Amino acid sequence: MKIFFKAAWAKGNVMRKNFKSDATFALAEEYVGRICHFAPCKLLALEPKLKKSDNSVLWFCDTAKNAQALSTGDLALRLRQLETSGVREWSVVIGGADGFDEESKRRLKPDFLWSFGPMTLPHELALVVAVEQVYRAYTVLRNLPYHTRHAS
C-alpha cells in the first residue's frame, strides 16, 4: 500500500518553500522517510482535480464535529485493516489554514474525518502530527522500540 500525505495549501511539489518553518518541513520529511521502511510514502500537494480511484482510501484531517479522534492503538488497528484489505493507496489530506470547505468534502467524499482532538493546530504542524502518528502506528504493529519507549 502506498501512503500519501497531501498538503491542501501547497502548490506543485511539496517543498520547504510551502512551509513557514524549515524545521517543520524537515520533521515531516524525517517521518515520511521512516514510514518508507514499511511502505512507499510521499509528501504531495493536493491536486485540484483529485478523484478517488478504486482501491484507494481518502482521509481528511479535520476539526468538524463528526471527525473522529483516534488513540495510537486505534490508528494502528485501522492501519492493519487498510494493509490487509487490498487498498493500494491511502491518502491523508491536511487542509489549509481554514480547513476544508463543504464543497471539497462533497466533491472528494473522504472515507474518514480524522481529528487530533479539540485543539487547533497550525496546518503545517497538523501534517507533522499525522505523519508521526502513522509512523508510530507502524511501530506499534511491529512492536518496535520507538513505540515501546513511549506511552501511547
**Left if phi > 0, otherwise alpha if psi is -120 to 50, otherwise beta: which for 106?**
alpha
What pLDDT does residue 49 have?
A: 79
Provide the whole-model pTM. Answer: 0.92
pLDDT of residue 116: 93
Give the separation between CA 33 and CA 39, rounded to whole angstroms.
10
Q: What is the 8-class DSSP label of residue 12?
A: S
Written as tens digits, the pLDDT of the chain (152 aa) is: 999 999 998 877 778 888 889 999 999 999 999 999 999 999 999 887 777 788 999 999 998 888 999 999 999 999 999 999 999 999 999 998 888 888 888 888 999 999 999 888 999 999 999 999 999 999 999 999 876 555 44
**CATH number, position 40:** 3.40.1280.10
Number of domains the chain contains: 1
Distances (CA, A) of 53 to 50, 64, 90, 142: 9, 24, 11, 29
DSSP state of 93: E
| 3 state SS of 115 | strand
Q: Domain of 123?
A: 2-148
What is the pLDDT, as a whole number, of residue 147? Answer: 63
